[in-house]
Amino acid sequence: MRIISCIKPGELAYRDAPEPVCLPGYSIIKIRRIGICGTDIHAFGGTQPYFSYPRVLGHELAAEFVEGDARCWRKGDMVTIIPYQHCGNCIACRSGHTNCCQHMQVIGVHTDGGMAEFLMVPSHLLLSAEGLDPDQLALVEPFAIAAHGVGRAAVLPQENVLVVGAGPIGLATMEMAAIAGANVLAIDVNDSRLAWAKKVAGVKAAFNAQDRRLEELLRDATDGDMPTVVMDATGNQHAINNAFRFMAHAGRYVLVGLQKGDITFSHPEFHKREGTLLSSRNATRKDFDWVLENIRVGRITPKKYITHHIHFNDIVEEFPHLIADANIVKAMIYLD
């Protein structure tokens, strides 16, 4: 079979690899769709933590069940996956926090992922695709990440929630916060992304991060309070450090985005707010199930974020141009 390997930062290449042979406890799936996410882009750019090369990228997947010991599926059934392989034994797993397992192995990050024709995955990580098409299925994972982040923030109705970064995860986070009843505000440097945020993600007001009046505009938009919840979805060190100043007194700051460097902020400013700093990593099965149900009933329509479709055979050549396109929101690789 063909795979796409990220050989080193800035280099993708097609390789031939043997088709996986199914092992007990595992299933073989045939890949139909692969969503390109920030993790893939950061890996390609050399800025992804927890990463080594070479690596087959891809963890936002829609696939057909081929074989395995998962009794719920027959050959040809559509499935998606929870890409977080957890140990089940560490303190996090024992307390139900499988999303931040001490020995986490994320498919497409720590182990080879779905930019391949076939993939072997633990059978217990398969999810039913009943009623959903491949494009919807491949977007379940980023929406589960957003749902988990909003849960970590414990967003309340009518709260002012600021989401920094209007990429796919940021847009999904905005939508999840809006569903929770929040007054959602958005910041980005890309005006077209901000327009998307207002059009499709339930955002009340959107601001360019380069506006010199930004803090004043946020204060006006929150009746002088400033946002009680700030959520970073950029994975950009400068943006993360800068956004501490936007948090209201007694506010919460949730880091959904991830970068390699250090977080720095004014301790006196953070302390006088009695601020709460949280990270949000991956998602739980509960988050995946919630997203699947909400897609089925039409409360979430993830396909509206897909701006580009590209065939698997064109990815190596087109990937650098694709991720440099300022108009891209979500690109979807298809293998049909």
Domain boundaries, the chain: 2-138+301-334, 146-279
Among residues 190, 225, 216, 203, which one has the least CA distance to residue 327?
190
**Residue labelled with tokens 């800068």:** 242
What pLDDT shows up at residue 260?
Answer: 84
**Residue 221: partners with Cβ closer than 8 Å, 6 or more residues away:** 160, 185, 204, 205
CA distance 177 to 163: 9
Q: For 201, left (φ over 0), alpha (ψ -120 to 50), or beta? A: alpha
Q: Is 314 helix (H, G, I), strand (E, B) or coil?
A: helix
Query: Cβ neighbours of residue 224 under 8 Å, at least 6 residues apart?
Result: none
* pLDDT for position 209: 96
Answering whether pTM is above 0.85, one says yes
Q: Considering only CA atoms, which of 20, 6, 101 is closest in space to residue 58?
A: 6
Q: Can you tell me the distance from the alpha carbon of 274 to that of 247, in angstroms, rounded to the nearest whole number? A: 10
pLDDT at residue 169, as a whole number = 95
pLDDT of residue 290: 96
Q: In tens digits, what is the pLDDT along the chain, a chain of 336 residues?
A: 999 999 999 999 999 999 999 999 999 999 999 999 988 998 998 888 878 899 999 999 999 999 998 878 899 999 999 999 999 999 999 999 999 999 999 999 999 999 999 999 999 999 988 889 999 999 999 999 999 999 999 999 999 999 999 999 999 999 999 999 999 999 999 998 999 899 888 899 999 999 999 999 999 999 999 999 999 999 899 999 999 999 999 999 999 998 888 999 999 999 999 999 999 999 999 999 999 999 999 999 999 999 999 999 999 999 998 888 888 899 999 998
CA distance 332 to 187: 25
Query: Quick check: 191 and 167 in contact, CB under 8 A?
Result: no
Could you give the C-alpha distances from 102 to 84, 109, 148, in angstroms and in order? 12, 15, 18
Coil, strand or helix: which one is 32?
A: strand
The contacts of residue 237 (CB under 8 Å, 6+ apart) are: 259, 260, 261, 262
d(CA 227, CA 56): 39
Please tell me the distance from the alpha carbon of residue 203 to that of residue 184, in angstroms, as a whole number.
Answer: 5
Which residues, other chains included, contact 74 with Cβ-Cβ below 8 Å and sequence gap of 6+?
A: 65
DSSP 179-227: HTT-EEEEEES-HHHHHHHHHHS-EEEEEETT-TTHHHHHHHHTTTS--
Q: Indicate if 146-279 has the same CATH topology as 2-138+301-334.
A: no
Supply 25's token pair. 């406890």
Task: Report whether 218 contacts 246 (CB < 8 A).
Answer: yes
- pLDDT, residue 323, reads 85
What topology does CATH give the domain 2-138+301-334? Quinone Oxidoreductase; Chain A, domain 1 (3.90.180)
Q: Is the dihedral of CA 36, 75, 87, 289 positive or negative?
A: positive
CATH number of 146-279: 3.40.50.720
DSSP for residue 98: G
Q: What pLDDT does residue 325 have?
A: 86
Q: What is the pLDDT of residue 38?
A: 86
Structure tokens at 206: 């959107």
